[in-house]
Structure 1
Amino acid sequence: MLKFYYLILIILSFSFAYEVGETISIYNQNKELDICYAAELDSDNDGIFSLAEYNGDLNGGQYNVTLIDMSATWCGPCFSLIPSFDDVASEWQDNENVKVIVALTDLNEPYSCSQWGNYGTSGTPMIVDDTGYPIFNMLNTESAFPSSAFIDHTMTVYYKE
């Protein structure tokens, strides 16, 4: 019976993800994650990332759109998509209102954050440590890696897959 309750809790934990058209709450926008790669892309140089940094209502009027790749270091398909995602980051790197990040989880299983980032090209986006899955749980797509989400300038989930 205890296993049944655990199963229900697990299912419920994945059922509260934001859907397309929903706006991410201020609480979730303020969740802080450590930047573990490409810290030079950190807008305020504190080594911490939060979605609130990209919300113009909270950051003094600098509205941004954000593309997030959610990957796990043990995920073969995630690893094989690094060059493609880096190409997307390169395409938009000159537009200061487009932010591209990787929310990487399960570090060192087998790749570290540095190994993951160094595999990429010059367009490698900022990588944040998603240990505990805060980004993935907020935006997950049927609990699958790799996943991606596009958040518009109002912090509304515009697309996810």
Structure 2
Amino acid sequence: MPKIIENLQQKLIEEARKQAEAGGYAAVTIRSVAKACGVGVGTVYNYFPSKDALLAAYMLEGWKVSMAAISAAAETAEGPEPVLQAIHDQLLQYAAGHRGIIGDRAAASAFAESFRRYHAMLRSQLAAPLRRFCESDFTAEFAAEALLTWTLSGKSFEDLWSILQKLF
């Protein structure tokens, strides 16, 4: 009789997170995650077809939290500044919470194609709460791209706001 482990998918994601934060992309293997969770390798593959899919699930969980915080800020915002500030803050928080993958050379190489495919979707998600303050969709997309690029490059919100406010 197979053993039943409650919330196994979540436990697998959490273990992948722990391993990625401790040792980066290369430290995470299906075998190491399975062992830490007390299950067989095949069991992990029942939930995730690959290491990259497992790590993508971990990254997606954090992204949903960040987007919820941005959406909450946008709901009550009377202007673009608090929304831009929330995006900036959430990007920093997300990057800090996922530093085992973000900035890891092996992860960048492994996920290069995925990053290219999903970049436009990411930009669009960040632009969505800005659209009501913009004259065009392009302005919102441009602001989102600028925030994404320059926040992750270490620019302060104050520096970014001094430029971005001219768009609104």
Tell me the TM-score normalized by structure 2: 0.23
Structure with the largest fraction of strand = 1
Structure with the largest fraction of helix = 2
Larger Rg: 2
Tell me the TM-score normalized by structure 1: 0.24
Structure number with the bigger relative contact order (C-alpha 8 A, sep ≥ 6) is 1
